[in-house]
Amino acid sequence: MAKAYQRACAIFKEMFEGYDLTTQQFGLLGFLWQEDGLSQAELSARSQIDRTTIGGLIDRLEKEGLVQRLPHPKTAVLIRSACPNWEKP
């Protein structure tokens, strides 16, 4: 299992070398691609990443212009993709 994980990480690095994304950031973008407008708590639960770490990942994605934090009356903050025109299968 460890060897498969290492190989997958190596392939990811090769394919996304020019995009300055970590595997965790890419994963969060994937969740938002599937269902845009998730809260930070929802992203944390789906990704199995603690809320503090999620906050830092979202900060970096927001700085790169890939996500936006928007106010929401129920969840306080909603995370939306800054790429609404992504094609979905």
Cα separation, 57 vs 31, in Å, equals 13
Domains delineated in the chain:
20-81 (1.10.10.10)
CB atoms within 10 A of CB 58: 20
Place of tokens 């990480």: 9
Query: What is the number of residues in the chain?
Result: 89
Mean pLDDT value across residues 57-74: 87
pLDDT reported for residue 86: 56
- pTM value is 0.76
More confident residue, 79 or 70: 70
Confidence of residue 88 (pLDDT cuts 50, 70, 90): low
pLDDT in tens, 10-64: 887 888 788 788 888 988 998 988 888 888 889 999 999 998 999 999 999 999 8
